[in-house]
Amino acid sequence: MQTLLSLYNQALSAVGAAANITNPAGSGQPVDICNLWYPVARQAVFTAAHWPSLRVSFRLALVKERAEGSTWTNNDPAPDYRYAFSLPPDMASPQYLQDFTRFELGRIGAQKVLFCNTLDPILHYTIDDPVPTNWELDLYRCVLWSLAACINMSKSGKMEVTQKLENQVIGLIGKAAETAANSDDTYYEAIPTLWAGTGFSVPQVQTQFIYPTQTFRVSASV
């Protein structure tokens, strides 16, 4: 079962600790250390790939618009962008806009926003979902080993064990990235040599902007 209880006990077992937690909401040193590092371990994995089981869509609300042709001033959307939109409160990281146009993250005052040139955009993003039963199997394994690496660094500091656990996560993240790339339905065609000079052309494929993922690393955060 992909439960938080099993995740905690398996992570403890992976680093040679006693796996005897009976309630993730309980108290005691094993529970405390798992609860302390679980958000760090989870988010390190969530932001390292665009996991299908975490992808949700959200229509963004407008925060600020800069009038067309106006001079940029403080508190306007970032230069080169016309609009600023509020971000979903449960977002771990963005993935792409529905129209695949470029965007950036930033702030206006104290509010975190997304800058783009698309009016009424729909954002596909990675949700910060802490419930393991909602994840795909490879994602569960990644968070398990990520949590084990965090626990190991905080308890023993044995870098070789942490690196072994990190490498297991990195391997699955690479597999997830490859699967995502293979599922891309954009096709690129080359013009056959014998058609050269005939006036035949292939329509240009529009560039698709997908927000970059972060490099997975937990030992630097511990």
Residue 187 has pLDDT above 50, yes or no: no
What is the C-alpha separation between 98 and 123, in angstroms, rounded?
6
The ranges assigned to domains in the chain are 4-51+135-176+210-221, 53-127
Is 84's pLDDT higher than 60?
yes
pLDDT at 182 over 60: yes
The pLDDT assigned to 180 comes to 72
- Percent pLDDT > 70 in the chain is 87
Is the separation of the CB atoms in 169 and 142 below 8 Å?
yes
Q: Report the mean per-residue pLDDT for the chain.
A: 88
Q: Is the pLDDT of residue 58 over 90?
A: yes
pLDDT at 73 exceeding the cut of 50: yes
Task: Categorize the per-residue pLDDT at 218 as very low, low, confident or very high, splitting at 50, 70 and 90.
Answer: confident
Non-local (6+) Cβ contacts of 36 within 8 A are 154
* Nearest-5° Cα angle at 40, 108 to 58: 45
pTM above 0.75, yes or no: yes
Q: What is the dihedral of CA 94, 95, 101, 103, to 10 degrees?
A: 20
Q: What is the DSSP string of 109-137?
A: TTEEEEEES-SS-EEEEEE----GGGS-H
Predicted confidence at residue 190, as pLDDT, reads: 43
